[in-house]
A = this chain, B = another copy of it.
Amino acid sequence: MKTNLESGKEVNPLLKTIRDVYDNLPFNRLLGLKVELLEIDRAGFCFTMKNELIGNTVHGILHGGVISAVLDTTGGITATASAMERMKDLSKDGVAKRIARIGTIDMRVDYLRPGRGIQFHSTGTVMRTGRKVAVTRMELKNEENVLIAVGTGTYIVG
Interface size on A, as a range, is 35 or more
Write 22 A-B pairs (CB below 8 A) sorted by A numbering: A24-B57, A25-B56, A26-B55, A57-B100, A64-B69, A64-B73, A65-B69, A65-B73, A68-B72, A68-B107, A69-B69, A72-B109, A105-B111, A105-B135, A106-B106, A110-B154, A112-B135, A132-B132, A132-B156, A150-B152, A152-B152, A154-B154
Please report A residues at the B interface, Cβ cutoff 8 Å: 24-31, 51-59, 63-66, 68-70, 72-73, 76, 96-97, 100, 103-114, 127-128, 132-133, 135, 150, 152, 154, 156, 158
- The answer to whether B63 and A110 have CB atoms under 8 Å apart is no
